[in-house]
Amino acid sequence: MLTVNLATLLGQPAVSEFLRGIVLRGRYANAYLFHGPHGVGKTTAALAFARAALCERVHGAAPVNSAPSLFGDAPAVFAIGTGDDACGECRGCRMSSTLQHPDLRFLFPVSGEEKTLETTVIETLQAMRDDPLHVFQYEKAASIRISQTRELLAELSYRPHTASRRIVVVRDCDRMREDQFSALLKSVEEPGASTVWVLTTARLARVPVTIRSRCQRVRVAPLPEALVRETLQSQAGWDEKDARMLAALSGGSLARVLAMRGADPSMKDQRDAALALLTPALNGDAGALWAGVQKATGFGKAGRERLRLALEFHQLWLRDLLRTRYGARPDQLVNRDQVARLKELAAGVDAVEIRRRLLVLEEAHRSIDGNVSADLTLFSTLSRVGGKRLGEGAWPAHATARWDV
């Protein structure tokens, strides 16, 4: 079991310093919203923050002169209010490390029937406990259930069990329904002095403004590429060549790269297969494009993740193409093994067209978690990327003057 404290958050010094300052002062906001890309450590940071907030040495949940236990153990004597991180030794830290602290509660998306909900929750907590870097791949219908929300809100009316406060971690809160957000809003506005909400999301725009405005935001940034590469070499045992390539393709997400370890095909092969679809799309060969798309995607959760990866590979490629057109150095590119091809293609396409293609991909990326078919979505998207020969070639409806490339 890997336990991460605030002091050991990987690649997030600003987040660590900010959260440790909160713990040291002991003045907590009603709610915090941890936001950032998938797999950069939002949940890891949230759990480390919760452990520190529940640490008995930091906040003195255990009286200094408490009596011995029934088993004759001497009471622990803690220095109260002098720490800014979990000690890892007190009763609170031991319970929160195994996610069994009675004042540490969770809400997270689950899929499946209501009768199997309890089993799904147990399995998810087991995965979170064993691997805090694990990236969960949800079914398209996965959501935070209303039954879970009601049960938790009912519990919040009681005092905490052993600690001075209760921490509620809501993972991927953007998967709540509108009525759940309404219930959450009331609790966030008036949580009482004993409850602290910690929300996480990789899709900040899907969290209602009413919730965002009442939370203190904590941005968890993508990890530096050099740090991802060093971690892959030192902790995962990858050779330098593979680590360099995957770090460049990771987008700052260490968890995603670790999840791809041992995958068949490799991430590099998946990138090459995804980019190969550009040729029939740009040539207007609908038959070849459809055949390639069917090979690149699948059904269910796996197909959805393959679609997500394919879109991200194309986005990274187009961003590199745009950077190359503006004279970027090879070390500033993600696809560094394709510098010659990028230079050749950049000479034949203008920046406006590249931006149009990026917006088409962005629109498709936002639809992944909806009720869409992976193969049809990828085919339609690449058709539009290819222009009028296969698709309408028009700018997406949401396109504005602001481009985030």
CATH class name, domain 6-219: alpha beta
Query: CA 92: distance to chain centroid?
Result: 27
Tens digits of residue pLDDT in 132-175? 556 666 665 677 887 778 888 888 888 888 888 899 999 889 88
| Cis before 265 (ω within 30) | yes
User: 87 with 62: CB under 8 angstroms?
Assistant: no
CA dihedral for 357, 359, 365, 367, sign (positive or negative): negative
Per-residue confidence band for 197, with pLDDT thresholds at 50, 70 and 90: very high
- What pLDDT does residue 141 have? 63
Range name among 87-101, 171-185, 188-202, 291-305 with the lowest pLDDT average: 291-305
3-state secondary structure of 170: strand
Percentage, residues of the chain above pLDDT 90:
21
User: What are the sequence ranges of the domains in the chain?
Assistant: 6-219, 263-386
Angle formed at CA 22 by CA 77 and CA 36, multiple of 5 degrees: 125
Single-letter code of the amino acid located at 299: F
CA distances (Å), 205 to each of 19, 173, 209, 220, 359, in order?
23, 11, 8, 15, 16
Range name among 30-34, 47-51, 57-61, 227-231 with the lowest pLDDT average: 57-61
- What pLDDT does residue 400 have? 40
Tens digits of residue pLDDT in 65-104? 444 444 455 444 444 445 789 988 899 888 988 888 999 9
Q: Is the pTM of this model over 0.75?
A: no
Q: Which CATH architecture has domain 263-386?
A: Up-down Bundle (1.20)
Long-range contacts of 270-274 (CB under 8 A, 24+ apart): 270/306, 270/309, 270/310, 270/313, 271/313, 271/335, 274/309, 274/310, 274/313, 274/314
Helices 300-325 and 351-366 meet at what angle, rounded to 10? 160
- What pLDDT does residue 293 have? 86
Q: With CA atoms as reference, report the closest residue to 254 among 110, 132, 95.
A: 132
